[in-house]
A and B are shown apart, each in its own frame.
Chain A
Amino acid sequence: MVPTNYYLILSAVLFGLGIVAFVFKRNIITIFMAIELMLNAVNLAFVAFSQSWQKPDGEVFVLFVIVVAAAEAAVGLGIIILTARNRRSLNVERVDLLKL
Chain B
Amino acid sequence: MQPLLDHLWIIPLLPLLGSAVSGLFGKTWPNKIVNGVALGSTGLSFAFALEAVREFFVGGQQPFRKEFFDWIIAGNFRAGFDLQLDQLTVVMLLVVTGVGFLIHIYSTGYMAHEGGYYRFFSYLNLFMFFMLILVLAANFVLLFVGWEGVGLCSYLLIGFYFLRKSASDAGKKAFIVNRIGDFGFMLGMFLLFRTFHTLDFSVVFKQVAELQPEAMGQFGTLTVAALLLFVGATGKSAQIPLYVWLPDAMEGPTPVSALIHAATMVTAGVYVVARSHILYTHAPTAMYVVAIVGCATAFFAATIGLVQSDIKKVLAYSTVSQLGYMFLGCGVGAFSAGIFHLMTHAFFKALLFLSAGSVIHAMGGEQDMWHMGGLSKKIKVTFWCMLFGTIAIAGFPPFAAFFSKDAILFSAYNYDYNGKVLYGVGLFAAIMTSFYMFRLVWLTFFGEQRCDEHHVHVHESPKNMTVPLMILAVLSLVGGWVAAPALWGGKDYFAEFLSPVFGAAETAGEGSASLEHALSLVAVVAAAAGLLVAWRMYSAKVKRGPSTGFHKILYNKYYVDELYQAVVVGPLTWLSRNVLWKIVDVGVIDAAVNGIATGTTAVGDTVRHTQSGNTRSYAVWVLVGALVVIAIIFWPILHPALFGVVR
The answer to whether B615 and A99 touch across the interface, beta carbons within 8 angstroms, is no
For the complex, give the distance between the alpha carbons of A13 and B190 in Å.
Answer: 68
- Distance in angstroms between the alpha carbons of A98 and B613 in the assembled complex: 4
Is B113 part of the contact surface with A, judged by Cβ < 8 Å? Answer: no
Of the stretches A58-66, A70-78, A89-97, the one at the interface is A89-97
Given contacts A92-B616, A93-B616, A98-B618, whether A23 and B611 have CB atoms under 8 Å apart is no
| B620 CB within 8 Å of chain A | yes
A23 and B615 contact, CB distance less than 8 A: no
Cross-chain contact B619 with A96 (CB below 8 angstroms):
no
Is the Cβ of B623 less than 8 Å from the Cβ of A96?
Answer: no
A58 CB, nearest partner CB in chain B, Å: 19
Q: Which residue of B lies closest to A97 (CB)?
A: B613
Tell me the minimal C-beta distance from A94 to chain B in angstroms: 10
**Interface mask (B572-614 → A, CB under 8 Å = 1, otherwise 0):** 0000000000000000000000000000000000001001111
Instruction: Tell me how far the C-beta of B134 lies from the nearest C-beta in chain A, rounded to whole angstroms.
Output: 62
A1 an interface residue at 8 Å Cβ cutoff? no
Residues of chain A from 45 to 64 with CB closer than 8 A to chain B in the complex: none
Residues of chain B within 8 A of A19, CB atoms compared:
623
**Closest B residue by C-beta to A96:** B613
- Pair B623/A100 contact, Cβ less than 8 Å: no
Residue on B nearest A23 in the bound complex, by CB: B619
User: A98 CA to B614 CA in the complex, in Å?
Assistant: 7
Q: Specify which of A26, A92, A99, A100 lies most central, judged by the most chain B CB atoms within 10 Å of its CB.
A: A99
Across the interface, do B613 and A23 meet the contact criterion of CB distance under 8 Å?
no
B612 engages A96 (CB within 8 Å): yes
- B603 CB, nearest partner CB in chain A, Å: 15
Interface centre among B612, B616, B618, B623 (most CB of A within 10 A): B616
B615 touches A95 (CB 8 A): yes
Who on chain A is nearest to B612 by CB? A99
A interface footprint on B609-647 (CB within 8 Å = 1, 0 otherwise): 001111110111001000000000000000000000000
Q: Is the CB of B608 within 8 A of A26?
A: no
Is there contact, CB below 8 Å, between A23 and B620?
A: yes
Instruction: Determine whether the beta carbon of A93 is less than 8 Å from that of B619.
Output: no
Question: How far apart are B614's CB and chain A's nearest CB, in angstroms?
Answer: 5
Per-residue CB contact flags for chain B residues 229-245 toward chain A (1 = under 8 Å, else 0) read 00000000000000000
Query: Residue on A with the closest CB to B608?
Result: A100
**A31 CB to closest chain B CB, in angstroms?**
8
- Chain B nearest CB from A98 CB (Å) reads 5
Smallest CB–CB gap between B330 and chain A, Å? 75
Provide the residues of chain A in CB contact with B623, threshold 8 Å.
19, 23
Distance between Cα atoms of A92 and B617 in the complex (Å): 10
Report the bound CA distance from A55 to B485 in whole Å: 96
- Distance of A49 Cα from B316 Cα, bound (Å): 89
CB atoms of A26 and B613 under 8 A apart? no
Alpha-carbon separation in the docked complex, A100 to B609 (Å): 9
Separation of A19 and B613 alpha carbons in the complex (Å):
20
Residue among B608, B611, B619 facing the most chain A CB atoms (10 A cut-off): B619
Chain A contacts for B612, CB-based, 8 A:
96, 99
CB neighbours of A97 from chain B (8 A): 613
Measured CA separation A98–B616 after assembly (Å): 11
A96 and B608 contact, CB distance less than 8 A: no
CB distance from A69 to the nearest CB of B (A): 19
Beta-carbon contact of A23 and B616 below 8 Å: yes
Instruction: Tell me the bound Cα distance from A92 to B620 in angstroms.
Output: 13
* CB pair B616 A99 closer than 8 Å: no
Pick from A22, A95, A100: contact of B619, CB below 8 A. Answer: A22
Q: Once the chains bind, are A99 and B619 in contact (CB under 8 Å)?
A: no
Complex formed: what's the CA distance from A95 to B616 in Å? 10
The reply to whether A93 and B615 contact each other, CB–CB distance below 8 Å, is yes
Q: A23-B620, A23-B623 are in contact. Are A92 and B615 (CB under 8 A)?
A: yes
Closest to B626 in A: A19
Contacts of B615 in A (CB 8 A): 92-93, 95-96, 98
Q: Which residues of B contact A31 (CB under 8 A)?
A: 619
* A99 with B611: CB separation less than 8 A: yes
If A19-B623, A23-B623 touch, whether A100 touches B611 (CB-CB below 8 Å) is: yes
Least distance between A19 CB and chain B CB atoms (Å): 7
**CB 8 Å contact bits of A13-34 with B (1 = contact, 0 = none):** 0000001001100100001000
CB-CB nearest in chain B for A92: B615
Chain B residues with Cβ under 8 A from A99's Cβ? Answer: 611-614
- Residue among B611, B614, B618, B623 facing the most chain A CB atoms (10 A cut-off): B614
Q: How distant is the Cα of A81 from the Cα of B555 in the complex, in angstroms?
A: 95
A86 nearest CB across to chain B (Å): 15
Tell me, in angstroms, the Cα distance from A56 to B349 when the chains sit together. 89
Measured CA separation A97–B614 after assembly (Å): 8
Residues of chain A with a CB closer than 8 A to B611's CB: 98-100
Chain B residues whose C-beta falls within 8 Å of the C-beta of A96 in the assembled complex: 612-615
Provide the residues of chain B in CB contact with A98, threshold 8 Å. Answer: 611, 613, 615, 618
Give min CB distance, A12 to chain B, whole Å: 11
A47 to chain B minimum Cβ distance, whole angstroms, is: 22
Closest to B619 in A: A23
Residues of chain A contacted by B620 (CB below 8 angstroms): 23
* B606 CB, min distance to chain A CBs, angstroms: 14
A46 CA to B612 CA, complexed, in Å: 37
Contact residues in A for B613 (Cβ distance below 8 Å): 96-99
Separation of A96 and B620 alpha carbons in the complex (Å): 15
Residue of A nearest to B613 (CB): A99
Give the complex CA separation of A99 and B608 in angstroms.
9
> With the chains together, A95 CA to B612 CA distance in Å?
11
| B13 CB, nearest partner CB in chain A, Å | 57
Measured CA separation A99–B618 after assembly (Å): 11
Cβ A93 vs Cβ B614 within 8 A: yes
**Closest CB in chain B relative to A62 CB, distance in Å:** 22
Q: Which residue of the partner chain B has the closest CB to A34?
A: B619
A99 to B620, CA, bound (A): 16
Report how far A76 CA is from B60 CA in the complex, Å. Answer: 84
CB distance from A79 to the nearest CB of B (A): 13
CB B613 to nearest CB in A, in angstroms, measures 3
Report Cα–Cα, A26/B611, bound state, in Å. Answer: 19
Cβ of A23: which chain B residues have Cβ within 8 Å of it? 616, 619-620, 623
Contacts of A93 in B (CB 8 A): 614-616
Nearest opposing residue in chain B for A22, CB measure: B619
Distance of A100 from chain B, by nearest CB (Å):
6
Contacts of B614 in A (CB 8 A): 92-93, 96, 99
Sample (10) of A-B pairs whose CB atoms are under 8 Å apart: A23-B623, A92-B616, A95-B615, A96-B612, A96-B615, A98-B611, A98-B613, A98-B618, A99-B613, A100-B608
Interface positions of B (Cβ within 8 A of A): 608, 611-616, 618-620, 623
Give me 9 other A-B pairs in contact (C-beta within 8 A), A19-B623, A96-B615, A97-B613 excluded: A23-B619, A23-B623, A26-B616, A31-B619, A92-B615, A92-B616, A98-B611, A99-B611, A99-B614
Closest 5 CB pairs of A and B: A99-B613, A96-B613, A92-B615, A98-B613, A23-B619
